[in-house]
Amino acid sequence: MPPIEGELLILYLTVLEDSMGCMLGQLNKTGNQESAIYYLSKKFTNYEARYSPLEKTCCALVWATQRLRQYMLRHTTQLISKMDPIKYLLEKSILVGRIARWQVLLSEYDIVYVLQKEIKGSVLADHLASGPTKDEHMVKEEFPDEEILTLKDEPKKKNQNESWSMFFDGASNIMGHGIRAILMSSQGKHIPMTARLDFECTNNMAEYEACILGLQVALDNKVTKLEVYGDSALVIYQLWDEWETKDHKLIPYQAYVQDMMSQFESINFEHTPREGNQLAV
pLDDT exceeds 70 at position 39 = yes
Q: Which domains does the chain have, with CATH numbers?
A: 9-130 (3.30.420.10), 156-276 (3.30.420.10)
Longest dimension (CA), the chain: 63
- Degrees, nearest 5: CA angle 183-145-273: 45
Q: Place 199 in a pLDDT band, splitting at 50, 70 and 90.
A: confident
Predicted local distance difference test score (pLDDT) of residue 202 = 87
pLDDT exceeds 90 at position 253 = yes
The four Cα atoms 34, 35, 37, 38 give a dihedral, to 10 degrees, of: 80
Write out pLDDT tens, residues 64-113.
Answer: 998 999 889 888 999 998 888 888 887 766 656 788 888 888 888 899 98
pTM over 0.75: no
Predicted local distance difference test score (pLDDT) of residue 280 = 46
Predicted local distance difference test score (pLDDT) of residue 250 = 92
Write out pLDDT tens, residues 219-228.
Answer: 998 999 999 9
The mean of the pLDDT values for the chain is 81
Write out pLDDT tens, residues 140-155.
Answer: 655 555 555 555 555 5
